[in-house]
Amino acid sequence: MKTLADLLAEGVSGRRVLVRADLNVPLDGETITDDGRVRASLPTLQQLTAAGARVVVAAHLGRPKGEPDPKFSLKPVAKRLGELLGSEVKLAADVTGESAKATVESLADGEVALLENIRFDARETSKDEAARGALADELAAFADAFVSDGFGVVHRKQASVYDVAKRLPRYAGGLVLAEVEVLRKLTDDTDRPYVVVLGGAKVSDKLGVIANLLTKVDRLLIGGGMAYTFLKAQGHEVGQSLLQADQLDQVKGFLDEAAKRGVDLVLPVDVLAATEFAPDAPHEVVAADAIPADRQGLDIGPESRELFASKLADAATVFWNGPMGVFEFEAFSGGTRAVAQALVDGKSFSVVGGGDSAAAVRQLGLPEDGFSHISTGGGASLEFLEGKELPGVQVLED
């Protein structure tokens, strides 16, 4: 796999370099509420501009339906990226159209242009290889080399991730290299005890990764909305809590497999049971096996927080993906904070698996350097740990 260092050694002054970045940030209107992914893209862009490259950035935002949608414009991202780089980032008004061509042509050495949201073009995510290839041809015409630096999308076989890499000299950016190196530490010869903490809303999002991790970990801690399907599978009342009834048989299988393999599968012993899903909802602490029929669990309780922290205290390696409760509501953020604090206080090699977990770390004001690594790619991290091949990485290795 050729890397950014190889490209820089070859020389990039005056050359156009297409960078696939992951700038998919959360927005409130036009305000970026967490710029972590923008900041993570900086090192690669700074190295290229310092070396005199003319940098063309492709990225997506949200899930537009293959056509322009003002609420998914990259305009706020271009503004923030320019602030962080200390120089203007030119934003094209389209993906590969006349504005994009003119914007790319106008670049001087050391300047950066951002193409408009790549998913405004339906060919980006098309299942039709020829359609994706046509878009990749147009993107490739903008550059002399391609740098893959958007780890959050390398699990997608998309035009700007996979197909364009087949059409240009291709290199792995620093972010992709760092992410893959970290995740390999979680799958190859991992230091033990190895503990994984999973949260978030749905068990169905993590079926593959749970099945694979049960063959590798010493402890598996389950919180968040997905915990209630596990509790129900054990025969407990979960009231109005989030429940995936169609996954109960699968989850019973996980419980049996954990017991057979000697994996310590840890569930909440108490929860904060609220009258409704709202930030100011009245709530009380109840035993996890006795949630009232008219209540819903919105966070793990104080005993569960202590239990989870104790299970993390002696860990050598920890992977954490998914909040323990509705951390966006202050009243129900304590469980997520407790897990995060346990990792900060511990001595483990700790990896925060992107997505809501990374957002929670920043929203709760915890020190980012208190963790060994905060991933920029939730889905990509999970698929790697599931044992799947990541197309955007595989194409760099070919």
CATH number of this structure's domain 182-386: 3.40.50.1260
Binding residues for (2R)-3-phosphoglycerate: 37, 119, 156
Which pLDDT value is given to residue 378?
81
Which pLDDT value is given to residue 128?
98
For residues 323 and 350, give the distance between their C-alpha atoms in angstroms, rounded to a whole number: 15
In this structure, what token pair is assigned to residue 106? Answer: 């106008």
Q: How far is CA 393 from CA 63, 176, 181, 340, 368, in A?
A: 22, 8, 12, 29, 26
What single string gives the DSSP state of each residue in 147-207? EE--GGGTTS--IIIIIGGGTS-EEE-HHHHHHHHHHHHTTSS--SSEEEEE-SS-GGGGH
Q: With contact defined as beta carbons under 8 Å apart, do 320 and 372 qualify?
A: no
Domain ranges for the chain: 4-175, 182-386
Which pLDDT value is given to residue 45?
98
Which pLDDT value is given to residue 396?
97
Residue at 225: amino acid letter: G
Q: With contact defined as beta carbons under 8 Å apart, do 308 and 289 qualify?
A: no
The phi, psi pair for 154, rounded to 5°, reads -70, -10
Which pLDDT value is given to residue 36?
87
Is the CATH number 3.40.50.1260 carried by domain 4-175? Answer: yes
Which pLDDT value is given to residue 34?
86
For residues 124 and 2, give the distance between their C-alpha atoms in angstroms, rounded to a whole number: 24
Binding residues for substrate: 22-24, 37, 60-63, 119, 156
Which pLDDT value is given to residue 279?
96
Binding residues for ATP: 206, 297, 328, 354-357
Bond into 193 cis (ω within 30): yes
In this structure, what token pair is assigned to residue 105? Answer: 């042509």
> Known catalytic residues?
37, 202, 355, 379
Number of neighbouring beta carbons within 10 Å of residue 206: 20
DSSP label at residue 240: T
Q: With contact defined as beta carbons under 8 Å apart, do 380 and 152 qualify?
A: yes
Q: What is the mean pLDDT of each run of 10 residues along the chain (398 residues)?
A: 97 98 93 91 98 98 95 97 98 98 98 98 98 98 98 96 98 95 89 96 90 95 96 96 96 97 98 97 97 97 98 97 95 97 96 85 89 89 90 95
Binding residues: 22-24, 37, 60-63, 119, 156, 206, 297, 328, 354-357
Q: Which strands form 170-172's sheet, in the order they lie side by side?
A: 89-91, 112-114, 54-58, 16-20, 145-148, 170-172
Q: Where are the alpha helices (DSSP H) in the chain?
A: 4-10, 36-50, 75-85, 98-105, 129-140, 174-185, 207-213, 227-233, 248-261, 302-312, 334-345, 355-363, 378-385, 391-397
For residues 172 and 232, give the distance between their C-alpha atoms in angstroms, rounded to a whole number: 44
Fold agreement between 4-175 and 182-386? yes
